[in-house]
């Protein structure tokens, strides 16, 4: 199983409510995925600064890490703890240096996301507990996606939780299971894509990363996945400006969408959408199989 939720706000007045609404949607999907949960929030940020969201091993000292990183990369570093994770802000031209230094300074660090607006948090446990650990209800932003996991293809670990980063400000969540992930993983490893787990979704994320690095648009990369990835899936991808949805050609996994003047929302089940304001009069519909959809903020 697994549950997916997504919320894209059209009405800026709802932005302070994003975290609260996403947390409520995520909690309803506990039945579909009680093993672990995660979410990506697109909130504040600037073009000069990049946010690196990391999961730190227990006992890591925040101040210590911040000052050590600032010294080694030779630039200002801000660090904000949220539960087991931390958001590290570095100047845009120091991102590569920071990503290279982090594993040296903090062995065992997991980089959950990199981007100007996106922050990714994920942890093992019931969705309600995971939301609370990161204080999701207090987060604000323009859009977000979330995932509740019922593990099928690999172990219940934080590394096995979704979302998976596929590039700057971009991530993937998945409901379903891929049957050719070992084959695709071996091929991608030859192309230089690194993997941390035996997880099938990480392979889908790696596949998208590989296509994007080769110059595909996200839409083209998703189209290509229809041919190369075999199995059952509903994918939701978060992007800097919105989110995209793709279901496998036989629409094996559920998906329902709701749209009003104020938002576009995605849920694995309609139940997850019932916490949203005005859902009673929303336009509710199902995305077609093998069709790539995007909901984007106008540039």
Partner 1 sequence: MTSLAHPVALESLDEVDLAAVPLRALNRALHALGPGSNHRHVRVLNPRGAHALAAGLDAEVTVEVHGNAGYYCAGMNSKATVIVHGSAGVGVAENMMSGFVHVTGDASQSAGATAHGGILRIDGNASARCGISMKGVDIVVKGSVGPMSAFMAQAGTLLVFGDAGEALGDSLYEARLYVRGGVASLGADCVEKPMEDRHLAEIHEKLAAAGLAGEVDVTSFRRYGSARALYHFHVDNASAY
Residues annotated catalytic, as ranges: 2
With CB under 8 A as the contact rule, the residue among 128, 241, 254, 262 that binds partner 1 is 254
Cα torsion through 271, 27, 87, 9, rounded to 10: 20
By the rule CB under 8 A, 135 interacts with partner 1: no
Task: Identify the sign of the CA torsion 265, 206, 89, 239.
Answer: negative
By the rule CB under 8 A, 284 interacts with partner 1: yes
With CB under 8 A as the contact rule, the residue among 251, 259, 262, 294 that binds partner 1 is 251
Binding flags for partner 1, 60-89, as an x/- string (CB under 8 A): ------------------------------
CA-based nearest residue to 169, from 102, 219, 111, 238? 238
Alpha-carbon distance of 204 to 265, in angstroms, equals: 23
With CB under 8 A as the contact rule, the residue among 228, 274, 294, 297 that binds partner 1 is 274
Backbone φ and ψ of 262, nearest 5°? -100, -20
CA-based nearest residue to 242, from 266, 214, 260, 267? 266
By the rule CB under 8 A, 259 interacts with partner 1: no
Q: Which of residues 205-224 bind partner 1 (CB under 8 A)?
A: none
In the chain, count H helices and then E strands: 7, 16
Stretch near partner 1 under the rule CB under 8 A, chosen from 43-51, 82-90, 122-130, 284-292:
284-292
Structure tokens at 90: 């570095």
- Judged by beta carbon, residue 14 or residue 258, the one nearer partner 1 is 258
Which spans of this chain sit near partner 1 (rule: CB under 8 A)? 250-251, 254, 256, 269-271, 273-274, 280, 284-286, 288-289
């Amino acid at each position: 199983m697994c549950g997916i939720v997504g919320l894209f706000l059209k009405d800026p007045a709802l932005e302070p409510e994003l975290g609260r609404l996403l947390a409520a949607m995520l909690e309803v999907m506990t039945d579909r995925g009680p093993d672990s949960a995660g979410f990506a929030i697109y909130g504040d940020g600037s073009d000069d600064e990049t946010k690196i969201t990391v999961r730190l091993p227990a006992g890591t000292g925040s101040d210590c890490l911040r000052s050590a990183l600032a010294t080694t990369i030779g630039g200002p570093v801000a660090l904000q703890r949220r539960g087991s994770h931390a958001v590290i802000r570095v100047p845009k031209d120091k991102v590569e240096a920071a990503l290279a230094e982090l594993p040296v300074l903090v062995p065992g660090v997991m980089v959950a996301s990199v981007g100007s607006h996106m922050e990714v948090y994920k942890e093992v446990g019931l969705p309600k507990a995971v939301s609370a650990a990161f204080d999701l209800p207090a987060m604000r932003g323009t859009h977000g996606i979330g995932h509740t996991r019922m593990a099928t293809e690999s172990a219940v670990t934080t590394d096995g939780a979704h979302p998976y980063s596929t590039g700057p400000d971009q991530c993937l969540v998945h409901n379903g299971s891929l049957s050719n992930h070992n084959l695709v993983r071996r091929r991608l490893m030859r192309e230089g894509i690194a993997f941390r787990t035996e997880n099938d979704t990480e392979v889908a994320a790696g596949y998208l990363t590989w296509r994007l690095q080769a110059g595909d648009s996200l839409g083209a990369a998703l189209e290509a996945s229809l041919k190369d990835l075999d199995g059952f899936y509903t994918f939701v991808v978060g992007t800097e400006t919105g989110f995209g949805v793709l279901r496998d050609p036989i629409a094996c996994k559920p998906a329902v969408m709701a749209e009003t003047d104020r938002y576009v929302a995605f849920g694995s089940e309609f139940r997850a959408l019932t916490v949203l304001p005005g859902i009673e009069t929303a336009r509710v519909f199902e995305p077609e199989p093998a069709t790539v959809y995007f909901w984007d903020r106008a540039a």
